[in-house]
Every structure is written in C-alpha cells, then in structure tokens.
A = this chain, B = another copy of it.
Amino acid sequence: MQNTEAKQPLTRILTGDRATGPLHLGHYVGSLQQRVALQYTHDQTVLVADMQGLTDNANDPKKVSSNILNVVADYLAVGIDPNYTTICLQSQLPALAELTMYYSNVVTVSRLERNPTVKSEIQSKGFGRSIPTGFFTYPISQAADITAFRATLIPVGDDQLPMLEQTNEIVRKMNSLAGKEILVECQAMLSNASRLPSTDGKNKMSKSLGNAINLGATEKEIKAAVKSMYTDPTHLRIEDPGQIEGNIVFTYLDAFHPDKALVAGLKEHYQAGGLGDGQTKKVLEECLLEMLAPIRARRTEFLADKGQLIEVLRKGSAAARERTQEVLHDVRDVFGLNLL
C-alpha cells in the first residue's frame, strides 16, 4: 500500500536574543533548554538581534559587537545545533530593515505610545523624553522579524504578549491591503518555567550588578555567586527553622538539581531546623559546577575557533536571507513596488 499521507510542513518558530551580553542561567532555564528540545520537531530560527541591541546602546556599540560571537558560542555550548536550527544575524538580513520601513507606514505614533511593553521599558530604562527613536519603534522592527520568517509560534514571557498583538495587527492590516493572506499571524508559546530570580533575589539579572551566573562562568565565579546568594535573612542559627519561600538557593536547586527527592529532603530538613545555609549552598555549588563544566568547556572550545562561529552565522544568515527576501517581495507586491 502506498503512503498517501502528505508530509506536514514543520511549525515555524522564531526566537532570539539581544546580543548585549553573554547568556546566563536565566536564559538557560527560560529559553535555551526549550530551544534544544524544539529544534528536532520544529522549523526553528534563532535570531541574534544585534540591531535591536543597538536601539538603546548606540553610545556603547561594543556592548553589542563584542557579544555576538559569545552568544553564538553559548547557543552551541548548550546544544543548539545549526544542523537543526537556523542561527542568523539580524544585521545581515536587509529585508528586516526594509519591512520595518514598510510597516512603519501602517502603524501610528499613538499606537506605539500605547504599547505597554514599550511604556514599561521606557520607564525602567529611565529614558523619559530622550528615548531613542529606534527603541520607541522597536515593536515594528520586531514585527518585521517575526513576519519575515512567517513564524507562527513565538516563545515569550507574558510581558511580551503586547508585542505579538502589535505584530498581528500589522499582519491583518497588510493582508487587508493585499486582499489576500500574504503574512501569517503568530501566537505566543508561553513558557512553563517561571522566571529564574537573580542571585541577590531582588533585581533583574544584570552584568553590572553581578547577580547572574553566566553559562561561561568559571568555577571561581560559580562558587562566589553561590556563596553570596540570598537565602533566609531571619535564619540566623543553624538549629532554627528556615524559610524556603524567596530563598534563592532552593529556587536554584528546584531549577537545576537532577535529584528531586534529595531536594525535597533538604527542604524538609531546612524548614524543621538544623540545616545550615553553608550546607545547602554546598549542594547547589556542586550541582552547578557539574552542570556548567561541560557547557563551559564546549563554549571555550568554540570561542577558540571564531572562524567556525562566523561560519555558522554566515550559513544561517544566507538561508535566512533567502527566506526573508521572499516575504519582502510579497510585501512589496502589496505596494506595487516590484516593477524593476
């Protein structure tokens, strides 16, 4: 009997990172592990967003340029495989800038001002009235990224949902102008993993605050980070009962320790009293050292051969260029601009 089943095209996923720093354990839990799993069952593109990184770093461009290959090394080190995932560089895809220009004509300034994600980021970055135009308009640029790959599934945190709404508004507007479906709407793939807190338990992870553990952290850095980790400030004597809630050591143990029964036992002991922070930190330290050792080793190896990293980006960007130019062609058609 003949197999008459048509081969289903794989669902297209677009993810990516601003290339503004090396990736850390927050990225690992929040997205990198998921990407490794998804790459075998989905048509996945990972965009290294250097141009978006510049929207609020034009005065410190090295922050972006010096991290592009770091990010690619991070990807490869955790197991994102360029044979399954298209890894590409935003600035190498001119269609993204051109689509941004076209879409800018169908989004009003007041619509951008109402975007809650942009509003809160403007506030948190303290831009006030001096917000760079590129940062203000980045929802349009992000819509260009998503639609240029005809991605239908976008792994995001729920704070990013307004960005996808904005994208789908543009999709509907362009399809309405075209009189047919030239772009596809996307939907969010919300992560089950809750956001990993910083080691100080207070602020967002950031390089300058030194409250994140990078994937490439040395043994010394890992030990120092665990040692200074926020626990239960009221847990002064070992024999006293300690709190699990808000205790970052336990949050990290939950996130990373492979032996869930052991972690459950530690929690019980800690809450009952008699288990010191030094002991729980020791367990976490060993777990992180073991988990990060092979990642760090692979990362170092990849960074020692920058030519290979560049080749990965070059190949991925060439494939992405072909795909995104097709979408640009369709959008140009809407405006009747394919006459040459």
Contacts and interface: CB of A to CB of B under 8 A. Distances in A.
Nearest to A141: B101
Contact of A336 (B62, B110, B137): B62
Contact of A100 (B50, B64, B97, B336): B97
Nearest to A59: B177
Interface string A287-311: 0000000000000000000000010
A203 to B, nearest CB: 25
Contacts of A101: 51, 97, 100, 134, 141
A173 B100 CA distance: 23
Contacts of A137: 104, 133, 137
A323 interface: no
Contact of A130 (B50, B110, B335): B110
Interface stretch (A88-96, A227-235, A237-245): A88-96
A61 interface: yes
A74 B109 CA distance: 35
A335 B64 contact: yes
Contacts of A105: 54-58, 132-135
A224 interface: no
A208 B335 CA distance: 21
Given A94-B98, A110-B130, A130-B110, A68 B104 contact: no
Contacts of A50: 335, 337
B136 A109 contact: yes
Residue of A57, A94, A110, A313 with most partner-chain B CB within 10 A? A94
Contacts of A69: 339
A221 B339 CA distance: 30
A263 interface: no
A129 interface: yes
A254 to B, nearest CB: 39
Contacts of A94: 94-95, 97-98
Contacts of A134: 101, 104-105
A38 interface: no
Closest 8 CB pairs of A and B: A65-B336, A104-B134, A58-B105, A94-B94, A105-B134, A97-B97, A61-B335, A110-B129
16 contacts: A50-B335, A55-B104, A61-B177, A64-B336, A64-B337, A65-B335, A65-B337, A69-B339, A91-B98, A94-B95, A100-B101, A104-B137, A108-B133, A109-B129, A109-B136, A314-B340
Given A58-B335, A100-B101, 15 more contacts: A55-B104, A91-B332, A91-B337, A92-B340, A94-B97, A94-B98, A97-B101, A104-B132, A104-B137, A106-B132, A108-B132, A109-B131, A110-B129, A133-B140, A137-B137
